[in-house]
A = this chain, B = another copy of it.
Amino acid sequence: MPRSRKQPLTTPPAEVRPPAQQAENFRRSRCDRALEVAQDYVEAIADLTATLGEARVVDLARQMGVTHVTVNRTLARLKRAGFVNTKPYRAIFLTRAGHQLADECRQRHKTVVAFLHSLGISERTAELDAEGIEHHVSPETLAAFERRLKQH
């Protein structure tokens, strides 16, 4: 067995998060984090297709701020996951599932940005923070954001 456990010097604060439940929170957070890249990519592919007519590797690399190598390998994963269809040296197309995910993400992104903006946060900061926050907003929280937006 290990060392005996030192007792806390001060009484523990009232807000005790049971370790098992807190572990669940972290698991959810990690799960969300694993989906961030997929969500940002399909969103970017949809955006690029809308503005440029098609999404190519080089555009995606510029948009994401990474090299084309990273884009290539990420696209391979997205293909395996069934979100995109790619053929060598051809433009990238979203599958039906990819389109659906992209629409969800675009809508959520817009909502999060608008919500932050409605709190008096600057356009730039709203965009910056939303890019990360959006991936951790549950349906319940998203609904609360929309509720507030409708109330102006």
Q: CB within 8 Å of B: which residues of A?
A: 2-3, 5-10, 12-13, 16-17, 19-20, 22-29, 32-33, 36, 40, 44, 47, 49-54, 56, 58-59, 62-66, 89-91, 116, 119-122, 125-129, 131-133, 135-138, 140-141, 144-145, 147-148
User: Which of B6, B51, B65, B147 is close to A12, meaning CB atoms less than 8 Å apart?
Assistant: B51
A23 touches B64 (CB 8 A): yes
Q: When the two chains form the complex, which single residue of B120, B126, B141 contacts A129, counting CB atoms closer than 8 Å?
A: B141
Residues of B within 8 Å of A65, CB to CB, are 22-24, 26-27
Q: 14 new A-B pairs (CB below 8 Å) besides A7-B53, A19-B63, A26-B65?
A: A5-B56, A6-B54, A12-B52, A17-B47, A22-B44, A23-B62, A25-B128, A28-B128, A119-B145, A119-B148, A120-B147, A129-B136, A129-B141, A133-B136
Q: Nearest chain-B residue to A115 (Cβ)? A: B119
User: Please, which residues of chain B bring their CB within 8 A of the CB of A44?
Assistant: 22
- A122 to B, closest residue via Cβ: B140
Instruction: Tell me whether A12 and B63 are in contact in the complex, defined as CB-CB below 8 angstroms, given that A128-B25, A132-B135 are known contacts.
Output: no
Contact status A116-B141, CB under 8 Å: yes
- A102 → B minimal CB distance (Å): 14
Chain B neighbourhood of A116, CB < 8 A: 141, 144
